[in-house]
Amino acid sequence: MIDTASVRAQFPALRREVAGSQAVYLDGPGGTQVPRSVIDAMAGVLERGVSNLSPRFDAGVLAIQTTADARAAVADFFGAASPNEIVFGQNMTSLTFAVSRALANTWQPGDEIIVTALDHDANRTPWVMAAEDRGVSVKVVPFDTTIFDIHLASIRRALTDRTRLIAVTHASNAVGTIVDVGAVTELAHSVGALSYVDAVHFAPHGPIDVQQIDCDFLVASAYKFFGPHTGCLFGKAQHLQSLTAYKVRPAPADGPGKWETGTQSFESLAGVTAAVDYLAGLGEGPDRRSQLVSAMQRIREYEMALSRRFLDGIEDMEHITLYGIPDVADRAPTFAIDVDGVSASAVASRLGERGVFVWDGHYYAVGVMEALGRIDSGGLVRIGFTHYTTPDEIDRLLTELRTFG
């Protein structure tokens, strides 16, 4: 069980008030709030004093230890075999650009890659740009608007012995659909291709196990799982070692360090560790990995209950259209809706004035909005729940949505 009172007490931002009422943060898909332990960890590094990586003096040793602690924490969060399979960067996008360029250097004209169109614009991803640089063809597996998902059969049909990569989203930040990334990875490996999993949206909503998925790479952003703005990449050790990274000559030649351009934000890395430890504290088990699995399963169950409450609540609202699957077992607690006769921006603004925070527009899921025919009309309203969302907040949202009818 998730003790929401205990959870919420750890998040200072949740005390915000708007127009005399407590704010309701339903914008988690765009970034979550952070617990006090993350704030204290980040401030603590700065207050104590940290220097660049050096074994010669205390402040440099702190930088080394902070980095090592963060690698170990994210390795546990992802279920990686070793902390040396974890790379940090400014954000998920910069890490993906780095890996895409490195992998592209192994491709030859006539090779193919497959990208899925479930979230970001599949026509202008780092993968597509890298393929263009190398003269490699790109096959886009379309987003099916009737099921709000991609078909594994479509991926299977796109595979050939020239396929070198499948890039896939774990969960849609637009319509909430969860993809069977293990099955996608199996398809990739069946023809000798690699799999790259974007788990940015899935990470705060369920357990990740890169060894079970068997993906070659997986990436997430800590600010989506209650930490600071830091990108976190898992890469199988053999890939991180064998691929040529774009780096300056003095940078490490081996391990994850060769992928980390320049000095990392040590205060942010301390916050990443604290975020993982916070999540582990919500679970049970003899070690951090087992605690994290337990915690994320509890979070998943709790959020599914919130999702059912929301979906049941809008069922009789004829002015609300849901764009997404109704089965909570196959989706994240993220919902794209249209309010009849009211633009998405107007809905978000009106809710925001009343202290209910939601997103509007395309949320970078340009391909999805194009497929739904919503890109020119301003997109949709996006509502997202996390484990610090309460049933009362769901009811408050439903009350506000009824006023549009």
| Tens of pLDDT, residues 358-374 | 999 998 888 888 889 99
Q: Which residues does 228 contact at the CB level (< 8 Å), separation at least 6?
A: 34, 38, 42, 222, 265, 267, 268, 271, 272, 275
Q: How confident is the model at residue 399 (pLDDT cuts 50, 70, 90)?
A: very high
- Checking if the pLDDT of 226 tops 70, the result is yes
H or E element in which residue 272 lies: helix 266-280
pLDDT of res. 123: 59
Point out which residues pair with 89 in neighbouring strands.
Answer: 231
Average pLDDT rounded to a whole number, residues 310-328: 96
SS3 (DSSP) at 138: strand
Answer whether 176's CB lies under 8 Å from 182's CB. no
Answer whether 223's CB lies under 8 Å from 35's CB. no
Residues of the chain with CATH 3.40.640.10: 39-280
Average pLDDT rounded to a whole number, residues 96-108: 96
Point out which residues pair with 113 in neighbouring strands.
Answer: 138, 165
Answer whether 181's CB lies under 8 Å from 195's CB. yes
Q: Among the CATH numbers 3.30.1330.20, 3.30.70.100, 3.10.580.10, 3.90.1150.10, which is that of 4-35+290-402?
A: 3.90.1150.10
- Mean pLDDT, the chain, integer: 95
Q: How confident is the model at residue 222 (pLDDT cuts 50, 70, 90)?
A: very high
Whole-angstrom Cα distance, residue 403 to residue 400?
A: 5
pLDDT of res. 119: 65
pLDDT of res. 118: 74
Within 10 Å of residue 323's Cβ, how many Cβ atoms?
20
Tracing tokens 């952003």 back to the chain, one arrives at 221
Residues of the chain with CATH 3.90.1150.10: 4-35+290-402
- Checking if the pLDDT of 383 tops 70, the result is yes
Q: Among the CATH numbers 3.40.50.20, 3.40.640.10, 3.90.1150.10, 3.30.300.30, which is that of 39-280?
A: 3.40.640.10
Share of the chain above pLDDT 70, in %: 99
